[in-house]
Amino acid sequence: MTPIYISIFHMWFHKGKRGPVIKAPKGKTRITIRIDNDTLDWFRQQVHAAGGGNYQTLINMALRKYMNLNRESLEDTLRHIIREELSAYDKKPKR
């Protein structure tokens, strides 16, 4: 680089810091994830239809709602599946 470019570069960036320009608010973590295009489009469309907002907030709300669902334990789920399968097995005609 020529001296003029070095001087301009230094003038603009001498106080520069690495990392995000805006720090994440307390209680939030900045991450990078890959989401299917159709899923992301759906969330963006929902925000647009509502007249604005933030699709990331909507995704966060959907994840939180899923977390808070009263779901049965894995053990209970397996018991239900086994009972259904045994019941279906008992109903099959025997030879």
Q: What is the pLDDT of residues 45-74, one digit of tens each?
A: 999 999 999 999 999 999 988 888 877 788
C-alpha to C-alpha distance for 66 and 61, rounded to whole angstroms = 9
Tokens for 63? 């994840």
pLDDT score of 21 more than 60: yes
Q: Where are the domains of the chain?
A: 3-91
Q: Which residues of 60-87 are buried (b: 16+ CB within 10 A; e: fewer)?
A: eeeeeeeeeeeeeeeeeeeeeeeeeeee
8-17, 41-50, 66-75, 80-89, range with the lowest pLDDT: 8-17
